[in-house]
Structure formats: structure tokens, C-alpha cells
Amino acid sequence: MAQFTVPSHIVMGQGALNEAKLYIKSYGKKALIVTGKHVAKSEMMKMLQDMLKEIAVEYIVFDGITGEPNDQMIDAGILAYTENQCDFLIGIGGGSPLDSAKAIGAMITNPGKIADYNGKEIPNKIPPVVAIPTTAGTGSEATKFTIITDSKKDIKMLLKGDYLIPELAILDYSFGMTAPEEVTAATGLDALTHAVEAYTSKKATVMTDTLAVSAVKRIVRFLPIAYQDRTNTEARQEMAIAALEAGICINNASVTLVHGMSRPIGALFHVPHGMSNAMLLSKCMTFAASEVSERLAVLARATEVATKEDSDKIAAAKFVDQLEKICAICKIPTLKEYGIDQKTYESSIDKMATDAIASGSPANTRKEVTKDDCIRLYKELYQ
Ligand SMILES: [Zn+2]
């Protein structure tokens, strides 16, 4: 049995924002635009505001998302939404404002505090969310997940449920052309992690397999180009498509060990999400290789790093090498290079391993993962 869930509408291409205005008009009278300080001052924000004026939709800009979102930012967003009597949300920017728009929406129609929903399904329908990504990576525009940090407990909470899927995703290729190279790297490698994890997940289906292979091919080819030449429009577009494909993949096949172990590193040491995934990706795939070599071999052949003549085992190893090469091209640092103190890190390993297993994601890995496995992998990761 397989299900497949996507946003109600996806509008993509040059000028997509303008193309989508009739959908937006149908969602309500007053939008809360959720974003960060930088995007709030950008040309694309001006285009969005001009378009809303043109279709006579009122709006309030909430630019309080200053990095990966936590419960306090969400509470401030909820207040802005209710005080201004908004009736739908527009998230514009990277994964953080998009995740935030979804979380604010969730807390408008669901009682209690956001922490009450950690790891649980959101039970009540939320106001319509329009997602306008300006970086190619998280795929939040297509997913039923949102990750919010619990600022008291230092954990990244995972909220999920079909109601969190945006009504409308707009991928306007004129956006996202200005991302700094470290953002291109981290978000692009997040998308690669989504595609590889979905393809090797226990929950993979024929539909997600097709999109995962497609996304991996695009990313392996175009991420190094997008990273090295930020003016390359073709590479940016291909990365935007790949990020959407990979987002749809995890929406339906979930993530596995990499994301499970990555979130605690992000919560405790503030490593950007895509970067901590990238640090873990080849190590976790090597761990799972005995159960997923056939699948990694398919990805190796699809990306032409292995041939039909290679055995699955050899092809899988070549694909893991390829993952490492892309991380090296994108200058992904080690934990030590990132500036994390070894003693502090090592004293946090037990908590991180507990939180990783508790998130449920490692259980989607085709090889059984125990807390001891996570402890060993966290230790090796620092070396
Ligand atoms: Zn991710």
C-alpha cells in the first residue's frame, strides 16, 4: 500500500509569482507574510507586496525569523497574526520562514503550546499557507513537516501532518539567484540528503523512487556548478526543481538516520541543518550500506559514477565516495573545523543519541539502528 501527498498547487518558472495571484486571492483577505530581516528588504518582497496590492489583499510583514526557528519566534508570529486579524499565511525566504509559517498556522487552530505537538500529528486543519522558497534545498514548500527548536530543552521538535502541507508552492526562478555560497552548499546538500534518505528509506514507494533518482541526478550534476558560479541560472533552476522533488520524496518516504542524528547537532551546536546533514551523510550511508547496497548502486549508475560491470557493493561504495566529493567541493567543514569543542561535544553524545532515536527517523533506515550505534557514529564523526 502506498500513498502520495503533494501541495494542492505548484506554480513554477520565470514569473510564477504573478501567475499564482488568483490562487492567493482565494485564500483570504489579509495575509501574514512570514520572513527574515534580509528577505524583508529584498526585491522579491517588493514584488510580492506589489502583487498583493494589485489583487487587493491586505498584508502584515512579520520579519522576526532570525535563523532556524524556535518556539519564541513562533509565539511572536502567532501574536502578529491574531492581533492583525489575518486569515492566511505567506512564508517567503529559506526553509526557516517557510517552516515558521506552517508552525504559526498550526498554532492558530490547534490548542495548547507548540511543544505539545512534538513528534505528533497536527489534528486540526490550519489556515492556508503559501510557500515561496528563495533558496533551493529544504523542500519545505512541499512537505508535511516543520522543525522548531524548543529553546528551553535544546531539542529540535518535529511537527508533522497532512494539514501542514502548503496549499500553494511558488517556485519563481527569478528568485534565489543571490544566495551566498555557504547557503547554496548547505541547502543543496540538504536536498541531496532528502533524496538519498528517501530512496533508501523503509517507506520508499515507486512514486518517491522516481523523484528521488531524478533529484539525485540533478543535484550531483548541478550543485557543484551552482556553488562555484552563483550567476549560473540553469544550475539554480535545476537545483530548485531538485529541492522540490526531494521535498516531495521525504513527504511520502520520510527521512532516516542522517536527519535523526543531524537535528541534535543543530539543536546543541547551532550547525545549520543542511551542513550537519552533509557532515553525516556518507558516514550514515556507509553504516547502512550492507542493507541498501543495491539501492545505492542504482544511484551510482544513474549518476554515472559506476557502470553495469561494477558489482552492487562496489557501485555503492563509489556512490558514497561521490557524496564525499560533493561535500568537499562545497567545503563542508568537520565538527572541529566548525569550531565545536571536543570535550563539550563528547559530553553531549549520550543526550544526542537519545534524542536521535526518540525522533523516530532512524527507525526508517533499512538497517536496524540502536542508541549504541548512534553513540559510536557520533564519536567517529568528531575524528
Ligand atoms: Zn532536511
Confidence band, pLDDT 50/70/90 cuts, at residue 178? low
Q: Report the separation in Å between the CA atom of 191 and the middle of ligand 1, taken as the mean of its atom positions.
A: 7
**39 vs 137, more confident:** 39
Q: Report the separation in Å between the CA atom of 19 and the middle of ligand 1, taken as the mean of its atom positions.
A: 28
Q: What are the residue ranges of helices labelled H in the chain?
A: 16-19, 21-27, 37-40, 43-54, 71-83, 95-109, 181-199, 206-228, 233-253, 257-269, 273-302, 312-329, 342-358, 371-382
Q: Report the separation in Å between the CA atom of 271 and the middle of ligand 1, taken as the mean of its atom positions.
A: 13
Q: Is the pLDDT score of 176 beyond 80? A: no
Q: Quick one: pLDDT at residue 231?
A: 83
Q: Report the separation in Å between the CA atom of 263 and the middle of ligand 1, taken as the mean of its atom positions.
A: 9
Q: Quick one: pLDDT at residue 140?
A: 93
Q: pLDDT tens digits for 26-51?
A: 999 999 999 999 999 998 999 999 99
Q: pLDDT tens digits for 296-343?
A: 999 999 999 999 999 999 999 999 999 999 999 999 999 999 999 999
Q: Report the separation in Å between the CA atom of 250 and the middle of ligand 1, taken as the mean of its atom positions.
A: 9
Q: Report the separation in Å between the CA atom of 267 and the middle of ligand 1, taken as the mean of its atom positions.
A: 14
Q: Report the separation in Å between the CA atom of 184 and the middle of ligand 1, taken as the mean of its atom positions.
A: 14
Q: Report the separation in Å between the CA atom of 91 and the middle of ligand 1, taken as the mean of its atom positions.
A: 17
Q: Report the separation in Å between the CA atom of 152 and the middle of ligand 1, taken as the mean of its atom positions.
A: 22
Please compute the mean of the pLDDT values over residues 193-206 and round it to a whole number.
Answer: 98
Look at the pTM and tell me if it is higher than 0.85. yes
Q: Report the separation in Å between the CA atom of 351 and the middle of ligand 1, taken as the mean of its atom positions.
A: 21
Q: Report the separation in Å between the CA atom of 257 and the middle of ligand 1, taken as the mean of its atom positions.
A: 12
Name which of 27-36, 80-89, 228-237, 275-284 the model is least confident about.
228-237
Please compute the mean of the pLDDT values over residues 178-200 and round it to a whole number.
Answer: 93
Q: Is the pLDDT score of 63 beyond 90? A: yes
Q: Report the separation in Å between the CA atom of 197 and the middle of ligand 1, taken as the mean of its atom positions.
A: 10
Confidence band, pLDDT 50/70/90 cuts, at residue 168? very high
304-313 burial, b if ≥16 CB within 10 A, otherwise e? ebbeeebebe
Q: Quick one: pLDDT at residue 14?
A: 87
pLDDT averaged over every residue in the chain: 95
Q: Report the separation in Å between the CA atom of 48 and the middle of ligand 1, taken as the mean of its atom positions.
A: 26
Name which of 166-175, 245-254, 291-300 the model is least confident about.
166-175
Q: Report the separation in Å between the CA atom of 113 and the middle of ligand 1, taken as the mean of its atom positions.
A: 24
Confidence band, pLDDT 50/70/90 cuts, at residue 177? low
